[in-house]
């Protein structure tokens, strides 16, 4: 197999993995929105709600990839002092920031306050964990 063909296959696999993770994040956000009354999703149809959740999941993913590591770096002593529990607060902040950005783009997804964001962060973490157990990363050597 040629080098070019291997790169094309690798690019396709990476794209599929990205899309799968986007759908997993959207599903986790949807479940948290469904469970918590303080998280609201408005839309005229089911299709518009799904598209909104996918866009919100993309925003949430970008924030988790770029902003969350910075938050974690600057709050590392607090994370160590609380044995990692402060990461829930950081995840709640990422949800609130996602909600704020969704509001700027008039997406129709909102989180009504800090404690709702904390509960949402816990739910999203649990759902994402469960879904990722069934969708393991083939490049992750730690999993058998």
Q: How confident is the model at residue 134 (pLDDT cuts 50, 70, 90)?
A: confident
The answer to whether 74 and 107 are in contact (CB under 8 A) is: no
109-111/39-41 β-pairing: antiparallel
Nearest to 94 by CA among 77, 78, 114: 114
The answer to whether 80 and 6 are in contact (CB under 8 A) is: no
pLDDT tens-digit profile of 46-83? 999 999 999 999 999 999 999 999 999 999 999 999 99
**What pLDDT does 144 receive?**
47
**What pLDDT does 138 receive?**
62
**What pLDDT does 143 receive?**
46
The two structure tokens encoding residue 123: 């739910």
CA distance linking residue 109 with residue 127, whole number of Å: 19
Q: What would the mean pLDDT of 5-15 be, rounded to a whole number?
A: 73
Q: How confident is the model at residue 1 (pLDDT cuts 50, 70, 90)?
A: low
Please state the domain extents for the chain: 3-134
Question: Where is pLDDT greater, at 105 or 17?
Answer: 105
pLDDT tens-digit profile of 108-127? 999 999 999 999 999 999 99
**What pLDDT does 90 receive?**
97
pLDDT tens-digit profile of 21-54? 899 999 999 999 999 999 999 989 999 999 999 9
């Amino acid at each position: 197999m040629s080098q070019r063909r291997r790169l094309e296959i690798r690019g396709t696999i990476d794209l599929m993995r990205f899309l799968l993770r986007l759908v997993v994040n959207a599903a986790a956000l949807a479940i948290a929105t469904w469970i918590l009354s303080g998280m609201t999703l408005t839309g005229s149809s089911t299709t518009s709600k799904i598209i909104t959740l996918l866009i919100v999941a993309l925003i949430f993913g970008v924030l988790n990839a770029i902003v969350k590591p910075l938050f974690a770096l600057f709050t590392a002593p607090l994370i160590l002092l609380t044995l990692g529990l402060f990461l829930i607060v950081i995840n709640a902040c990422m949800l609130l920031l996602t909600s704020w950005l969704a509001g700027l783009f008039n997406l129709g997804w909102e989180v009504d306050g800090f404690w709702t964001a904390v509960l949402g962060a816990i739910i999203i973490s649990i759902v994402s964990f469960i879904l990722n157990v069934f969708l393991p990363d083939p490049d992750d050597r730690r999993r058998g």
